[in-house]
Structure 1
Amino acid sequence: MAELNIKNVNKSFGTTDVLKGINLDIQDGEFIILVGPSGCGKSTLLNCIAGLEDVTSGDIMIGDDNVTYAAPKDRDIAMVFQSYALYPNMNVRKNIAFGLEIRKMPKDEIAAEVERVAKLLQIENLLDRKPSQLSGGQRQRVAMGRALARRPKTYLFDEPLSNLDAKLRVEMRTEMKKLHQRLGTTIVYVTHDQIEAMTLADRIAVMKDGIVQQFGTPQQVYDDPANIFVAGFMGSPSMNFLECSVVKTADGFGVQIESQGKTFELAADPAQADLSAYEGKNVVLGIRPEQITHVMPHVESQPFVTRVPVKIEVTEPTGADTLVLTHINGQECECRVHPTEAGNPGEQMDLLFNMSKAVFFDAQTENRI
């Protein structure tokens, strides 16, 4: 096990800058997830850590060793690729055991390790098959098994669950978390799935255009996003973004919204943002669907909660909740209510806007206020 420190790493392909000054300090035993849309540079960064790509500038440290220009075999890492990378002439058992055989581990220990990871990944009945006889999801599990059979300083995963069916994907997330808790090994994991990131990570690095937009715990990234991109990328359904004008209220500052031809003032919690410099100007209010709910007396009596009538346009039942789509300030707004409280499209219902966790962004820079 070891710390992983990425210091001012840049990577360019010709004139295209793919990574721009990446700085990440990853603690010994942390589960770190790199998340972002396609093309943001997350897989390139993982390949630089693995030694599969040379950095243009900067340093990569594993423990006390500067491995920036070390060969992949000298970095003591294990990597699971998105594209399986299995040996087609070997059966599953041999694929998993190959790295252990190279290290000249005793045969009985190799057999026990292969059985352990096969049981973990539910592939015990596949051990004698060749990769060509497996489905895509089964091949990915074998690729994971090959990495898990070793005990390196750092594991690198490049979207390892992307080819699994939905049920197995959820099960494997749980198994990966258990595995990490049991081994305590440093893991760097790439995904574009923010649910995966939220459920697995100790800390998340949200990337866009080769830049780390925010690096923090899942709750920090969810509750205190650094900018509109991070706020919109993390969370399902996504955060609502409503452009509003800042007004002075009885107790401080807030924003003005319009619904059903009437205007309402939503008081801002000063602990969330100081809007005094924005009076009379437009800002972007960021409020998550779960902060806009049906009327509940114990919620309505709390500070920074305002009742607003809206017109229901679309309802989306999800089982535990129902999502209600409406328009505020002429902009789409999604709300989360209890299924028994949701009305029908075309009807009016009152909703509570709970501003205690609402965030605000500068309309020009899109950065958090």
Structure 2
Amino acid sequence: MASLTIDNVTKAYGQTQVLKGINIAIEKGEFLILVGPSGCGKSTLMNSIAGLEDVSGGRILIGDADITEAAPKDRDIAMVFQSYALYPNMSVRENIAFGLEIRKVPKLEREKEVQRVASLLQIEPLLDRKPGQLSGGQRQRVAMGRALARRPKLYLFDEPLSNLDAKLRVEMRTEIKKLHQRLGTTIVYVTHDQIEAMTLADRIAVMRGGELLQLGTPQEIYDNPENQFVAGFMGSPAMNFVPCTLVASDRGLGVEITDGEGNPSWLPVPNPERLSAYVGKQVILGLRPEMVTDPVPHKADDAMVQHVPMKVLVTEPTGADTMLVSEVNGVEINCRINPGYSTPVGQVVPLMFDMSKVVFFDPTTEERIDRA
């Protein structure tokens, strides 16, 4: 287990810049997730760490050792791929032991390590089977076991769950989380699935177009996105973005909204001193679906809470919640409603806007404008 430093790393293919000066410092035992849309550079960065791609500039260090020019075999890194990459003619036991055999680890020590890993991943009954006799989840466990048997300084996971069905993804996500908690290993994990990122990571690096847009804990990324892209990418359903104008009145600074029928309402804003330069200007209000809900009594006297009549356009029951679609300032918004609250489609119902954690963006630059 070791720290990892990515120091101003760039990568270009001809005139095309794929990585644009990436800087990330990862502590020993930290679980970092690289997340972003397809083509954002996260897999290129992962391959650069592994030595499968040469970087055009910058340095990569594991601990204090500069491995920028080191061959992949000399980096002491284990990688788990989305395709599993198991040898079909070998048993599970042989697949797990293969890397140790290549390194000429004595047979008795190899067998002990295979048993340790099999016990850890609960795959002891599978050791004599071939990969073709295993389910997708079992194959992924074997691929993880092969990496764990090496005990490297750093583990790289490249979208390891993307080939699994939805139920199995959730189960394997939990297993990976448990594994990290037990072993305290340093992990860099690539995914395009923001739910995986939120549930697994100690910190998340959000990338787009070869740039690192934000690096922080899942809660920091969720509550305090630095720009509109990060805000919209993290969260399911995504954050609502409502164009509106900041207005100063005798009630303080707020925003005016209209529902789908053109009826106006006023909503307060938190930390008005940070938005004083935007009074009278159009801004983008960002509010998560859980900030627009059915009214609850314990928030009735909260200064940041307003009850607004809203027309129900669509309801989507999910069991634990009902997602409700309504309209504000000409855009549809998602609201998270208690399933016991009556919301007939086409009817106007009171909804509660909790403005305590809303964020604001510049409509031109898409950057946050209300940061401390």
The answer for the alignment partner of 1:56 in structure 2 is: 56
Distance in 1, matches of 2:268 and 2:124, equals 59
SS at 1:149 equivalent: helix
The answer for the alignment partner of 1:266 in structure 2 is: 267
Matched, 1:192 2:192: yes
The answer for the alignment partner of 1:8 in structure 2 is: 8
The answer for the alignment partner of 1:115 in structure 2 is: 115
Matched, 1:182 2:182: yes
Distance in 2, matches of 1:120 and 1:162, equals 22
Distance in 2, matches of 1:324 and 1:117, equals 46
Q: Please, which moves more after superposition, 183-192 or 254-263?
A: 254-263
CA 1:212–1:43 in structure 2 vs 1: closer, same or farther (change >3 Å)?
same
The answer for the alignment partner of 1:77 in structure 2 is: 77
Aligned residues: 368
Q: Please, which moves more after superposition, 241-250 or 83-92?
A: 83-92
The answer for the alignment partner of 1:322 in structure 2 is: 322
Distance in 2, matches of 1:337 and 1:136, equals 36
Distance in 1, matches of 2:250 and 2:221, equals 31
Instruction: Note the alpha carbon deviations across 1:317-369, whole angstroms, 9 max, x for none.
Output: 11111111010111001101111113111111011111100000000000011
Instruction: Note the alpha carbon deviations across 1:275-333, whole angstroms, 9 max, x for none.
Output: 21111111000000101111112113112111110000110111111111010111001
In structure 1, the gaps of 5 or more residues are none
The answer for the alignment partner of 2:247 in structure 1 is: 247
Matched, 1:208 2:204: no
SS at 1:215 equivalent: strand
The answer for the alignment partner of 1:294 in structure 2 is: 294
SS at 2:244 equivalent: strand
Distance in 2, matches of 1:303 and 1:106, equals 69
One-letter amino acid of the structure 2 residue matched with residue 24 of structure 1? I
Is this contact kept in 2: 1:140–1:163, CA < 8 A?
no
CA 1:342–1:124 in structure 2 vs 1: closer, same or farther (change >3 Å)?
farther
Is this contact kept in 2: 1:204–1:217, CA < 8 A?
yes
One-letter amino acid of the structure 1 residue matched with residue 293 of structure 2? T
Is this contact kept in 2: 1:241–1:286, CA < 8 A?
yes
Distance in 1, matches of 2:48 and 2:342, equals 50
Distance in 1, matches of 2:225 and 2:55, equals 29
Distance in 1, matches of 2:256 and 2:350, equals 17
SS at 2:356 equivalent: helix
Q: Please, which moves more after superposition, 223-232 or 92-101?
A: 92-101
Distance in 1, matches of 2:120 and 2:84, equals 18
Post-superposition offset of 1:171: 2.1
Is this contact kept in 2: 1:322–1:342, CA < 8 A?
no
Post-superposition offset of 1:246: 0.8
Q: Please, which moves more after superposition, 156-165 or 322-331?
A: 156-165
Post-superposition offset of 1:264: 1.2
The answer for the alignment partner of 2:313 in structure 1 is: 313
Instruction: Note the alpha carbon deviations across 1:24-58, whole angstroms, 9 max, x for none.
Output: 01111110000111111101100000000000111
Distance in 2, matches of 1:71 and 1:355, equals 53
CA 1:121–1:183 in structure 2 vs 1: closer, same or farther (change >3 Å)?
closer
Instruction: Note the alpha carbon deviations across 1:212-244, whole angstroms, 9 max, x for none.
Output: 110000000000001111001101111100000
Is this contact kept in 1: 2:137–2:168, CA < 8 A?
no
Distance in 1, matches of 2:292 and 2:324, equals 10
SS at 2:222 equivalent: helix
One-letter amino acid of the structure 1 residue matched with residue 341 of structure 2? E
SS at 2:345 equivalent: coil
Is this contact kept in 1: 2:10–2:55, CA < 8 A?
yes
Is this contact kept in 1: 2:113–2:149, CA < 8 A?
yes
Post-superposition offset of 1:122: 4.5
One-letter amino acid of the structure 1 residue matched with residue 331 of structure 2? Q
The answer for the alignment partner of 1:304 in structure 2 is: 304
Distance in 1, matches of 2:128 and 2:168, equals 22
